[in-house]
Amino acid sequence: MKRSNLTSKLYLGDLIGGSLMIRESQIVTELLLKKPSKEEWNEAIVNKNILQKRSDASAKRNASTIQKRLTDLSNDYIEQLAFGSSVL
């Protein structure tokens, strides 16, 4: 399978597995733009609970999903997502 097809299928599977999480994506992109260390990431996601999830496991799972979705996007797009409108 070509690399682009494999990437597309992995991304599609991720989208089918859950909602877009727009508000959460904006929060995570702001954090990603700061290029946090693992400790800073964990502090924000778990200890500060910036995603306002009921459990540490949910916060970690959602943050990880969003991070994977954003991995191949340009910084320009990530900045647009972080600081743009949440209205579609």
19-70 pLDDT, tens digit per residue, is 888 899 999 999 999 999 999 999 999 999 999 999 999 999 999 999 988 8
30, 82 contact by CB (below 8 A)? yes
Residue 88 lies in a domain: no
Q: Is the pTM of this model over 0.95?
A: no
How many angstroms separate the most distant Cα atoms in the chain? 41
pLDDT range class, residue 1, cuts 50, 70, 90: very low
Say what the pLDDT of residue 54 is. 96
Structural domain harbouring 66: 3-83
Handedness of CA 75, 56, 59, 70 (dihedral sign): positive
Asked if the structure places residue 55 within a domain, the reply is: yes
> Averaged over 6-21, what is the pLDDT?
62
Residue 18 lies in a domain: yes
